[in-house]
Chains A and B, each alone.
Chain A
């Protein structure tokens, strides 16, 4: 059954969208990742304009992170104070990101920048994950390494120190602010929540307790994706509510099966599969960048530079 997407202005197979949403939802449930980094490229592969894919994804992520954070909230795993400081950064990052997005769109370079950023981030993250999971598999099972609560490094000497009682940290507010800023940029330009960047940054740079990281980053992502949705709606007109809702339905259901399936896989196996997937998407995007296009000319309606 075909469905006409009012903002993307194209007809797409409804079933295919549901399957895509379900598939990405399954993976995000299984691996505990947002899935935005898979969904946006998939949308681009099926012919949704990259700009619409990003704008719509930010809307879909609002819903995904709300449903994700509620579970963490009930268990008290959200450091609101830390989240708010990060939020200040990500608000600025999102505003700047949408502004950059708008300029690149009128220059006709937004598709290129989206693809390049995906290739860079997916390649880096996928590569690191793949090596790490292979190493773990080869070494076999080993006892968990005891880490200190957090390590002190040069970053802790920065000014504007602030107390974060929940995370039991006394660090410069600039750090979570900067991490939020980077996360906001990723949301606005790539249409991803940025969890894959925020989570390691919060663990390794801030030294936050791992139990609080997922909830706090999700808490922050709700707001940055909401701001991105709002700004994309008024500035770039690329938010397709119909598309977002269809993807959401698929991904919510898929995620439930993913969570169940996660119990049957070992951590490093799961990570190896995820890494392979991430690298596959990265390679496909990279190939499209270097392969001779079918027609070197393309058209865009409206006046461009």
Chain B
């Protein structure tokens, strides 16, 4: 939340440019335009999470949904079961194309805005997220001995994935953080926790009228490590042998230094 100051500084400038935009675009039908207070989230050494503000304008009243999607990655969900008194990872399901971050911001409850079919088509809302399966689904039996179907098992692991991501604040269910300033201007707040994954994000803004999506705009957002931490991470991943040697050299030097500094005089 350290960046709030910076975000609010950008507000007047953004507002001014959007007011100008609205003037020009008023003639076009079904239009939504939006931009972010910043397009780069820098993970620095002191990073504790941040907040990005999105500003936008619509040509006529309607509902707005803002969906932020992080970079996708294969993700494995593991189930712990009690084996000989100890909880051990037994079964696992790997999903493909799992976004590392997902949040939805709306101006009123999403179910009032559009029917489920429309939301599902655009993957708006956690329940409409679709992951691809990678590999097999293990056979599962419920506690009362019933064999679960593959679909049921997959749904179980899928729900667990979303639950875990929510617990880590990486998946945010719909929040009513879109607020209209008058009929055409709106703003939305997107919160990123300190564990936010790095990479290319997309911020999609949907304009919805009478249950149909009439306009959409997508803005890129980059989350990147910056500074010393980034250099360390980069070095460690690009040149692992040299990183290893450097880590040893630093440790040997530090150990020697400590021994000299505290040598009995």
A positions within 8 Å CB-CB of B: 1-7, 9-11, 59-60, 62-68, 70-71, 108-109, 112, 116, 222, 226, 229-234, 237, 239, 241-242, 244-245, 248, 252, 256, 289-293, 295-305
Contacts and interface: CB of A to CB of B under 8 A. Distances in A.
Contacts of B77: 297-299
A228 to B, nearest CB: 10
B247 A241 contact: yes
Contacts of B86: 112, 116, 289-290
B161 interface: yes
Contacts of B97: none
Nearest to B225: A6
Contact of A296 (B80, B92, B230, B233): B80
B4 interface: no
13 contacts: A7-B236, A60-B251, A66-B255, A67-B259, A70-B255, A108-B89, A109-B88, A222-B252, A252-B262, A296-B81, A298-B80, A302-B73, A304-B78
Contacts of B79: 296-297
Interface centre among B45, B77, B88, B248 (most CB of A within 10 A): B248
B142 interface: no
Interface residues of B, number: 62
A287 to B, nearest CB: 11
Contact of A233 (B48, B88, B167, B240): B240
B164 interface: yes
Given A297-B164, A299-B161, A6 B232 contact: yes
Nearest to B231: A6
B100 interface: yes
A116 B48 CA distance: 33
B148 to A, nearest CB: 15
A256 B152 CA distance: 59
B128 to A, nearest CB: 20
A254 to B, nearest CB: 11
Nearest to B234: A6
B26 to A, nearest CB: 45
Given A63-B250, A67-B255, A233-B243, 6 more contacts: A3-B46, A71-B259, A239-B236, A298-B77, A299-B75, A299-B76
B8 interface: no
A234 B229 CA distance: 18
Contacts of A230: 241, 244-245, 247-248
A304 B194 contact: no
Contact of A239 (B47, B75, B244): B244
Nearest to B161: A299
A237 B236 contact: yes
